[in-house]
Structure 1
Amino acid sequence: MKNKKIWLSLATLLLVFILAACGGNDETSNENADTDSGAQENIDMNEEESDTKEGMDHSGMQHSGSGEVPEGLAEAENPTYPVGSKVIMHADHMPGMNGAEATVSGAFNTTVYSVTYTPTTGGEPVKNHKWVIHEEIENAGSQPYKPGDEVVLTADHMEGMKGATATIDTAKQTTVYMVDFTDTKTGEKITNHKWVTEDELSPVE
């Protein structure tokens, strides 16, 4: 009888241990499931952030140009960086530009503007776009515009730019350059990119 009670007690204890072990495994499984779920959420968030950044890129930017310049634009007589010069760009108008080595393909004296405009194709206003030159403004006279002036753009650097009404943000008289360079992000060769100002360039050492 005593042996039977002892075996019954042992069986009961063994059953308790087995159930406890199973419960622990369930908790571990739940923790693993929670971890997997959290990891998936992080992946989803990263994908969303990536999509957002892609949405903010300059995909509408006309990186390469024909080399044609607006009528009346004067070539610089003694530019700091003559045509053919190798330079380093310190501008981030678009990804893959800052720090890239470039070759000067044109140098011109003019007034250069940063502008805010709403694309003719719709969408949010483009703020502080760099750069538009005086000769790329409709019916531009001989006098430069001032910050706050409202103008109509004839430049087509980006989709929806040509014909758009813009507000002048900044204005300065300087030498502007057309450049050829290789996009540091994509490896794409860009030719006759318009425009880079003199203070955004430095010589290749």
Structure 2
Amino acid sequence: MISRKIILSIVSLVIIFTLAACSGKQETAPKGDSGSNVMEGHAGMNHTGSSDVPEGLKESINPTYPVGSSTIIHADHMPGMDGAEATISGAFDTIVYTITYTPLNGGEKVENHKWVIHEEIENATEQPYQPGDEVVLIAEHMEGMDGVTAIIDSAEQTTVYMVDYQDTETGEDVTYHKWVTESELSPVE
């Protein structure tokens, strides 16, 4: 009887600590020109997504990393991503943007968010947007992102990838993570 109480107490504590760990701040990037994009909190980040892609997004015909190939991620958009071995689950040619926005749900301002693609901009023009342009997003990478007005920080024509990987910190399987750029990947050696 006492051992059941101990086990229930331990399970209760684990649940409480898990819930407390999941109630962090919205994603915010450090300020300054360090080039770092390590985020302080990712409570609103949709780590795992669906295989659905925005309308009009074109698959890459000859990507450096074809669907099914293995790569190493060299990006720190979220904890547990940098250095993870990933499997490519989609490759697309588009324009990627870093953006700054304040979430619709009242969270803190997010600066230099990587990445939003051209097809995730409402009523996107044919021409790429330029730094300083205001756009409305139709993306759901983060809570409070869909429908928000954002400022373009940078733009780049490249191949973007959807990846599946195992979080190096938690061991959690992440599937259909959107987006990683070609420059953020390298072959598995």
Classify the TM-score, shorter chain.
0.7 to 0.9
Matched, 1:196 2:147: no
The alignment status of 1:181 with 2:165, answered yes or no, reads yes
Runs of 4+ in 1 over 4 A off after TM superposition: none
Distance 1:71 1:165 in 2: 20
Which structure 2 residue ranges, 5 or more long, are not aligned?
Answer: 1-20, 26-39
SS at 1:120 equivalent: coil
Secondary structure in structure 1 of the residue aligned to 2:119:
helix
Instruction: State the alpha-carbon separation in 1 of the partners of residues 92 and 108 from structure 2.
Output: 31
For each residue in 1:151-189, what CA deviation from the matched residue of structure 2 results, as whole angstroms up to 9, or x when unmatched?
A: 001000000000111000000000000000000111100
2:81 & 2:104 partners in 1: Cα distance?
26
CA distance in structure 2 between the aligned counterparts of 1:141 and 1:75, rounded to whole angstroms: 19
Choose between structure 1 and 2: higher helix proportion.
1
- Return the index of the structure with the highest Cα Rg: 1
> What CA distance in whole angstroms lies between the structure 1 residues aligned with 2:92 and 2:174?
19
Query: Which amino acid letter does the alignment assign opposite residue 66 of structure 2?
Result: P
Letter of the 2:56 counterpart: G
RMSD (CA atoms): 1.0
In structure 2, what is the equivalent of residue 156 of structure 1? 140
Take 1:69 and 1:124, find their aligned partners in 2: how far apart are those partners? 27
Asked whether 1:101 is paired with 2:123, we answer no
Aligned residues between the structures:
153
Match of 1:81 in 2: 65
After TM superposition, list the pairs within 5 Å mapping 1:9-158 onto structure 2. Answer: 55=25, 56-158=40-142
Question: Could you tell me how far 1:123 is from its partner in structure 2?
Answer: 2.5
Which AA in structure 2 matches 1:176?
V
TM-score (norm 2): 0.79
Amino acid at match of 1:121: N
Matches of 1:166 and 1:60, distance apart in 2 = 17
Relative to the length of structure 1, the TM-score reads 0.73
Pairwise CA distance, 1:142: 1.1
Structure 1: 5+ residue stretches without partners: 1-50
Amino acid at match of 2:152: I
Query: Partner amino acid for 1:94?
Result: M
Structure 2 distance, partners of 1:124, 1:101, is 31
